[in-house]
């Protein structure tokens, strides 16, 4: 079985950051922390003009947070730290002064939808259906909610948050503004992504930095906002309802 990883490559001004976990790219706390740190460092690396965020494997972009860690939370502080994992990655993406292009090759769930929503420009395949499943286990998409709402609007975000059992198609996500383009295959996605990133890497870095700051205006409170949201999830995960639900999922 392959080992989890976060790795970065740089070629022709394009920094590609890839994360992987054998459990459908569901991410434990240590991988999330490494991912946030890698994004932050890439933002200060002069050799990188534009960043691509992708996952390893060909089926699932990201299945959200690690279920094994989730089920073992027994106190509010551990819960807060656990749910801060995706918050820290989203804030790293938000504060990175370079455009981050998302590459979503397959299904994405929960926190993975938050990562895709936080990218500045997101391209996907037709297999990249999305689901916010948090309500299913007795919590809610509190941490990723601001990023998802920013892309889908309140109506789109609330629709998939309430309908927590349903995968919504990549075309639906494109119509709502999450995906900019949807491709028939991963090969077609990668070809278009390469061309797009190469063109973007030739633009004025200062202009792109100022544009990114403009696009994210109004989110300056997200460090504290997402921390507060992590506390809410950390409290809810201790509820009897959620504990019983998680036990059933484990069986």
Q: Domain of 98: which CATH number?
A: 3.90.226.10
Report the percentage of the chain scoring pLDDT > 90. Answer: 91
Is 135 domain-assigned? yes
Greatest pairwise CA separation for the chain in angstroms:
54
Strands 14-20 and 50-55, by their bridges, are parallel
For every one of its 251 residues, what pLDDT tens digit does the chain have, with 9 covering 90 and above?
589 999 999 999 999 999 999 999 999 999 999 999 999 999 999 999 999 999 999 899 999 999 889 988 999 999 999 999 999 999 999 999 999 999 999 999 999 999 999 999 999 999 999 999 999 989 999 999 999 999 999 999 999 999 999 999 999 999 999 999 999 999 999 999 999 999 999 999 999 999 999 999 999 999 999 999 999 999 999 999 998 888 887 77
User: Which residues make beta-bridge pairs with 130?
Assistant: 108, 168
Structure letter (DSSP) for residue 239: S
Report how far residue 76's alpha carbon sits from residue 234's, in angstroms, rounded to the nearest whole number: 5
Enclosing domain of residue 73: 5-186
Instruction: Tell me, yes or no, whether 41 lies in a domain.
Output: yes
Strand order in the sheet with 130-131: 60-62, 107-109, 130-131
Q: Quote the CA–CA distance of 77 and 120 in Å, as a whole number.
A: 31
Q: Domain count of the chain?
A: 1
- Residue 192 inside a domain? The answer is no
DSSP 135: G
Taking Cα atoms as reference points, which of 52, 7, 4 lies closest to residue 27? 4
In a domain, 61, yes or no: yes
What pLDDT does residue 49 have? Answer: 98
């Amino acid at each position: 079985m392959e080992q989890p990883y976060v790795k970065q490559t740089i070629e022709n001004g394009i920094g590609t950051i890839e994360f992987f976990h054998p459990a459908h790219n569901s991410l434990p706390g240590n991988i999330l922390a490494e991912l946030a740190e890698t994004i932050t460092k890439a933002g200060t690396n002069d050799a990188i003009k534009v960043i691509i965020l992708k996952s390893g494997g060909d089926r699932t972009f990201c299945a959200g947070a690690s279920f094994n860690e989730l089920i073992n939370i027994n106190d509010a502080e551990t819960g807060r730290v656990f749910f801060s994992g995706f918050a820290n990655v989203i804030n790293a993406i938000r504060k990175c002064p370079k455009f981050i292009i998302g590459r979503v090759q397959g299904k994405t769930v929960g926190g993975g939808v938050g990562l895709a929503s936080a990218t500045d420009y997101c391209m996907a395949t037709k297999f990249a259906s999305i689901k916010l499943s948090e309500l299913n286990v007795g919590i809610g998409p509190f941490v990723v909610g601001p990023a998802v709402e920013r892309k889908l609007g309140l109506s789109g975000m609330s629709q998939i948050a309430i309908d927590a059992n349903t995968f919504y198609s990549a075309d639906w996500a494109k119509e709502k503004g999450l995906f900019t383009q949807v491709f028939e295959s991963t090969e077609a996605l990668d070809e278009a992504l390469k061309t797009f990133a190469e063109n973007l890497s030739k633009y004025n870095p200062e202009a792109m930095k100022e544009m990114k700051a403009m696009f994210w205006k109004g989110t300056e409170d997200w460090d504290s906002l997402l921390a507060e949201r992590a506390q809410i999830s950390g409290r809810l995960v201790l509820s009897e309802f959620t504990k019983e639900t998680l036990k059933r999922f484990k069986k």
